[in-house]
Chains A and B, each alone.
Chain A
Amino acid sequence: MTDPMIAIHALEKSYGIYKALHAVSLDVAPGEFFSLLGPSGCGKTTLLRSIAGFETPSAGDIRIDGESVIGKAPNQRPTNMVFQNYAIFPHLSVAENVAYGLKRLKLSPSEEKRRVSEALDQVRLGSYGERRAQQLSGGQRQRVALARALVLRPKVLLLDEPLSALDKKLREEMQVELRALQRAVGITFVLVTHDQYEALALSDRIAVMFAGRVAQIATPKEIYQHPQSREVAAFLGGMNFLSGRILNETATSLSVEAGRFGTVAATKPAGFTRTGETTALGIRPERLRILWEPQDTPHQITGTVVDRDYFGETTHLRIRAEGLDEPLSVIETNSFGADDLPRGATVQLAYDPEAFVALAD
């Protein structure tokens, strides 16, 4: 692996007796789109602000491009930040906002102008240079904040929930743009978000955080398919939790006797340690399929629809199966008539016996 752009080692941050970060260690590769994902209050902003230089860590080290930045002021770090509220200077025009950091580089006026208009074009605000901050919509302010940071060509761009203030449609558009922009400029991005879909859609890798600790770092697909713990699994999308008796264990998987589901093979997450004869198991709602035609497969169970929610392209069903305490969550696309299933209907659910994951508690 190439040398990391950001290397965080055993970082701690305390506010008085409250510990906001517990021994956080992670590496971010050059050019990577890295996300910090977790519920509100888990320490994402604190971590991001520590990288930017606005919080002084209580212990640990942060290296950017090989150099420790501990003790350096924000203006001495090769990072720039897009603030959650964008922090556009209200007394300056859009172009003056973008030129703010360039002023210190003492460029020639024509060179400065060229870089400002290049940056504004990059975020598709080419004709907005003369506007005042008050005349911009939320989405436009966000672009100004991006242009203002990117024009300085930082090694790392830090983004604190940059999309959370936008409405849903604009947010989805900006996600696509943000990803395209990151590919175009090739700068390392560190994004803070509490929205798992945003993190999954944008990131090369995600660090999931809970209560000041990093719970798992992996690619979006790995995190979604192979969450290491029950907590991570529950935070990223729905999950049906079961338990089963371990029959056999290999280096990568477990063979588990899972009650009505029979004997299934569960992927073993990294760092899984067996605590006894039983283990928690999970299967994602979309990995359970309704059988519309009777099929002769042993991997099916019978259940009754107890509840359903219509989402347009999909229907989320709650199906009670005999022998299980909790109803199962099932997500079906609406191509075959899942939206017409009445409550109380009896259905056959098929599953792939390899689609289970073992979960540490």
Chain B
Amino acid sequence: MKGTPFLFKGGWLTLYIVLILSFLYLPIALIPLFSFNNAAAVAFPLSGFTLRWYDALWGNKEMLRAALNSLLVGIIVACLSTLLGILAARALTRYRFPGKRAATAFLSAPLFLPEIIVAVSLLTIILSVGLTPSLVAVALGQTIFCLPYSMSVLVAGFEGMDRSLEEASRDLGETAAGTFRRVTLPLVAPAIVSSLIVSFTVSLDEFILAFFLAGTEPTLPVYIWGQLRFAAKLPSVLALGSLMLLASILLITLAESVRRRAERRLEQQVLL
């Protein structure tokens, strides 16, 4: 008797979760579905399987150029944001200094800033100093937004490392720089890889900054936005979207597994 109401409650909860999840993910699932659909119109009923939308992507010079732009921007953003993240994470985990809390807050603030405001202000600045919008501007803008992600991954990495290891290295005659290279870097390497992947992924999917700052060189999301005006190109865009979705999922899975592996290694160390 006692179990029934509980089960009932559990039943509603399950239903609720299923509804939420389908609301979140069903539309996304439709994208790959229609990308394999053999019809120019995106509508049910489905009319057979095809790979021709994917085929069409290969011959599309404009699209390939946008993909290359995205790749370039993504790599620059990943490197910049990870580099800055390493410096910030190291300072935050190793040193005590006045304004440390404020620094932490400012570095994670972009998570809560409206992206469009930042985009508009960056555009204003770029134009007012006489520069033109470019991929470099996009990369710099996106770095601001990737930094909080990089930092949280890297701070965890540095915190997981026992400080006495660096001291032991100094004690064994190594210089500060040598210690960073021979002890610190190898031990936070998983966090660095993780940060590179996460910031690359964030950059790959970013739209607003790229839209405002890219000028004549679109990145993939901006290219997709441009194509949406032509109904005939919609299936092709869906194919491209599916590929980007796949890439994002693979990258995030990779980053997470690198992080877990590193975490396990540290756990073993503590246990013994």
Contacts and interface: CB of A to CB of B under 8 A. Distances in A.
A134 B168 contact: no
A272 interface: no
Interface stretch (A86-94, A200-208, A245-253, A304-312): A86-94
A123 B172 CA distance: 18
B174 A104 contact: yes
Interface in A65-113: 73-75, 79-81, 83-85, 87, 89-91, 100-101, 104
Nearest to A91: B186
B171 A85 contact: no
Interface size bracket, B side: 20 to 34
Contacts of A52: 171
A89 to B, nearest CB: 6
B52 interface: no
A26 B115 CA distance: 63
Interface stretch (B41-49, B148-156, B159-167, B209-217): B159-167
Given A90-B265, A90-B269, A134-B268, A75 B183 contact: no
A191 B169 CA distance: 20
B272 interface: yes
Contacts of B162: 85, 87
Q: Could you tell me the dominant secondary structure of chain B's interface residues?
A: helix
A320 interface: no
Interface in A133-160: 133-134, 136-138, 141, 148-149, 152
Interface residues of A, number: 28
Given A104-B173, A104-B174, A89 B168 contact: yes
B170 A75 contact: yes
Nearest to A81: B171
Nearest to B179: A75
Contact of A80 (B164, B172, B176, B182): B172
Lowest 4 CB-CB distances: which A-B pairs, in order?
A101-B172, A87-B168, A87-B164, A74-B170
18 contacts: A54-B167, A74-B167, A74-B170, A75-B172, A75-B173, A79-B171, A80-B171, A81-B171, A83-B168, A85-B162, A85-B164, A87-B167, A89-B165, A89-B183, A101-B172, A134-B269, A134-B272, A141-B272
Interface of B: 162, 164-165, 167-176, 178, 182-183, 186-187, 265-266, 268-269, 272
